[in-house]
Copies of this chain bind each other. A is one copy, B any other.
Amino acid sequence: MTTLSAPPTAPEADGRDHTALLASLREAIGAAHVVTEAQDMAARLVEDRGLRQGTALALLRPGSTEEVATCLRLCKAAKMPVTPQGGNTGLAGGGVPDGGIILTTDRLNRIRQVDPTNATITVEAGCILANIQAAADAVDALFPLSLASEGSCQIGGNLSTNAGGTAVLRYGNARDLVLGIEAVLPDGRVLNDLNGLRKNNTGFDLKNLFIGAEGTLGIITTAVLKLFPKPSARATALVACTGPDPALALYARMRSQTADTLSTFEYVERLGLEMVIDHTPGCSDPMSEAHPAYCLIELTGNGAQADLDTRLEGALEVAFEADQIVDAVIGASEAQKDALWALRENLSEAQKHEGASIKHDVSVPVSRVADFIKVATQACMDHMPGLRPCPFGHFGDGNLHFNLTRPVDMADADFLAEYGAFNRIVHDIVHEMGGSFSAEHGIGTFKRAELRRYKDPVALELMAQIKATLDPDDLMNPGKVL
């Protein structure tokens, strides 16, 4: 990663004596929850994939909103930086401390209320995403946020990074799933906007300021989330087409014909599918011939299974006749549907077997997504002959993981030395097409330079003004985002 910078000096080496602060923190939340031993903090100091090593003076584990507030008040008085951390599964380095104190939301893990009629669930920031999904399921409802790390990521982190995932096409990003929040401000004040209302026009929209701010404006401690009726049926297909242009035409058709049920429209090219088939036990090519590109399509709904099947088959038939697809496999059983999903879900893992990857999490308007794949693929191939581009992902959201696998014969290190050059090529194309260089992973530390390069200058100024207003001492997750 060319955007990495060395961590600043850790505060335990800053020459100040923090004995009094640590004593106050132990007094406030209990000595057992103020961790200072290096080995006990080790897992909290490193980025999930080992891409960044942080440092910290201590790890705080407050057990309530009030304790979070006390911690932030004490840290502010001592001018001690605080890095909020959930499951530490972020992909942009936003949860890794550069000194100061880590405040984990681990112990804020209660599901406070489930209200099936209001279709809401009230959860504390430290709740594991999978546990929230399970609690929704227990009342026959769906909490649709779903992503690879759902077994360990925490909802506080999901909201702070406005997580995306596989259900955005139908249900929106994490931001769209929130009705109200409670948050502790950098000075320890507690914002109570914990409402479960579908309509509430009483002043500025403060909650969306904290959602997606990656912990730089305060700590979200509780949220009221939307629940949805649990779909009773799904119809799943893997279709083959000749490239991104017919895939886009197919997407437009599916959206207009199956609008209220279209939940998934994922894309992968042949190289990606081959990687999965080659490296994932149990995964095989469901089609007899190889094709340039594939789309995984799923409709979900609350009507009869037969209705959904009919809609999917009907739309695909017309797509065949229009030459938008050349082959299709429809999952006839739940096991077959799961097998089609496995081809998508194992992509990131399978890529690792083919050597180093240079990754981009980008989005463009959906109408430009086929153009983007073609133009960016060509530009990257021009830069490095032999390169193996492997674009895949949330085609229907305009969001691609535009991953580049190294040439077969190149050393990983030589390839990764080109990270910055490929970033520039890909992000320049994205920017020119009105897109985003960070669609769902956020800024953290890894993409700060890109933010300064591509973001509207007035937006950057406004962000800095708001940050200075809420956190004048720059204590909340310093060095991240801005």
Contacts and interface: CB of A to CB of B under 8 A. Distances in A.
A202 B458 contact: no
Interface in A443-458: 443, 447, 451, 454-456, 458
A440 B201 contact: yes
A161 interface: yes
Given A191-B459, A303-B311, A456-B191, A399 B261 contact: no
A398 B118 contact: yes
A284 interface: no
A192 B436 contact: no
A251 B117 CA distance: 9
Contacts of A442: 201
Nearest to A179: B365
A364 interface: yes
A176 B177 CA distance: 11
Contacts of A228: 259
Interface stretch (A59-67, A81-89, A412-420, A460-468): A460-468
A280 to B, nearest CB: 27
Contacts of A189: 458, 461
A438 B363 contact: no
Identify the interface centre among A201, A206, A367: most chain B CB within 10 Å of its CB: A201
A422 interface: no
A211 interface: yes
B439 A201 contact: yes
A363 B398 CA distance: 35
A248 B117 contact: yes
A2 interface: no
Contacts of A38: none
A168 interface: yes
A259 B229 contact: yes
Nearest to A368: B118
A201 B307 contact: no
A308 to B, nearest CB: 10
A469 B463 contact: no
B363 A203 contact: no
Interface centre among A200, A211, A231 (most CB of B within 10 A): A200
Given A192-B456, A203-B463, A204-B466, A197 B118 contact: no
A175 interface: yes
A200 B482 CA distance: 16
A144 interface: no
A366 B140 contact: no
Contacts of A367: 115-118
A205 interface: yes
A244 B354 CA distance: 62
B399 A365 contact: no
Q: Return the 10 tightest CB-CB contacts between A and B, nearest first.
A: A229-B259, A117-B367, A208-B208, A200-B436, A199-B439, A118-B367, A118-B365, A198-B397, A259-B302, A192-B456
10 contacts: A115-B367, A117-B248, A117-B252, A176-B176, A185-B462, A199-B440, A203-B455, A203-B459, A229-B256, A231-B259
